[in-house]
């Protein structure tokens, strides 16, 4: 008759006593199976810890830094490196459009774009060359939250619009509105001035969605057509 049991002998070195345990083959197989299961579970936990959790963190980082993503999409579209079909393929079109729609808006001033958005140089808007003291118009309905002198942009106006959009008008010669004043789309809010440098008269114009930079050239067709700015 075959021996269907395994004997395990335990020896206590201090007391010199022996303990023996007889285990059946089925019990041994069960123990081995449990050990293998524990090992596989450990491998899965390690995988989740080193791969899945960082991915979750990465998604959180992407969500909290949409500004960089949208700016990148703007740059790629400007350079004709991506199209709407590409954005649609990767389910980015709705995301892109949601951050680029404040339309319908009007041009704040008639002119030519001489400098574009360059976040690396902290130039968050466009410069529009225009006649000195020409009218500057509100691009959309809103309420003025700032109409004052600033260190960087001189006389500056900031207007809050519906859906958490903001427009900024800098290097003004004169402001024609005050803080907390309700402004209608197309209303004259100031006059074109010029910076302290020798750049000539121009309007510095920015559009933001919360903390997301929106390139006005993507919203105003005439500005895209009259853009002579050099890619920096």
pLDDT tens digits, one per residue of 16-58: 666 666 666 666 667 777 777 777 777 766 555 444 444 444 4
| CATH no. for 106-225 | 2.70.70.10
Give the separation between CA 179 and CA 144, rounded to whole angstroms.
5
Q: Which two tokens stand for residue 9?
A: 């002998």
Q: Residues 78-96: pLDDT tens digits?
A: 666 666 566 555 555 555 5
Element (H, E) at 164: none
Tokens 């100031």 found at: 190
Residue 226: CA count within 13 A, CB half-sphere? 16
**Residue-level pLDDT at 111:** 94
Looking at residue 70, its pLDDT comes to 59
Cis ω for the linkage preceding 15 (within 30 of 0): no
What's the confidence (pLDDT) of residue 73? 62
The reported pLDDT for the residue numbered 78 is: 67
Q: What pairs with residue 113 in β-bridges?
A: 128, 227
pTM for the model stands at 0.59
Q: Which stretches in the chain have pLDDT values below 50?
A: 1, 49-65
DSSP state of 230: P
Of 123, 136, 116, the closest CA to residue 201 belongs to 136
Nearest one of 37, 28, 29, 125 to 74, comparing CA atoms: 125
Structure token digits, residue 212: 């997301």
pLDDT at 55: 47
What's the pLDDT score for residue 211? 80
Helix, strand, coil share of the chain (percent; to 5): 35, 35, 35
**pLDDT at 163 (0 to 100):** 79
CA 152 – CA 231 distance, rounded (Å): 22
Which residue ranges make up each domain of the chain? 5-63, 67-96, 106-225
pLDDT of residue 16: 63
- The Cα–Cα gap between 114 and 177 comes to 26
Residue-level pLDDT at 56 = 46
């Amino acid at each position: 008759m075959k021996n269907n049991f395994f004997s395990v002998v335990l020896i206590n070195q201090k007391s010199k006593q022996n303990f023996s345990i007889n285990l059946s083959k089925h019990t041994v197989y069960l123990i081995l199976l449990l050990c293998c299961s524990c090992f596989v579970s450990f491998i899965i936990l390690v995988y989740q810890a080193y791969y899945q959790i960082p991915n979750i963190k990465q998604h959180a980082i992407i969500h909290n830094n949409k500004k960089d993503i949208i700016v990148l999409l703007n740059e790629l579209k400007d350079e004709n490196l991506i199209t709407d079909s590409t954005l649609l393929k990767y389910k980015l079109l709705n995301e892109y459009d949601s951050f680029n729609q404040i339309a319908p808006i009007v041009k704040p001033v008639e002119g030519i774009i001489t400098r574009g958005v360059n976040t690396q140089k902290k130039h968050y808007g466009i410069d529009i060359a225009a006649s000195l003291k020409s009218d500057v118009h509100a691009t959309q309905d809103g309420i003025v939250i700032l109409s004052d002198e600033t260190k960087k942009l001189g006389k500056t106006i900031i207007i809050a619009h519906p859906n958490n959009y903001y427009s900024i008008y800098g290097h003004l010669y004169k402001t024609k509105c005050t803080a907390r004043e309700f402004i209608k789309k197309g209303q004259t809010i100031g006059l074109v001035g010029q910076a302290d440098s020798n750049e000539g008269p121009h309007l510095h114009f920015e559009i933001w969605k919360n903390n997301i930079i929106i390139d006005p050239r993507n919203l105003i067709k005439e500005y895209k057509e009259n853009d002579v700015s050099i890619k920096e």
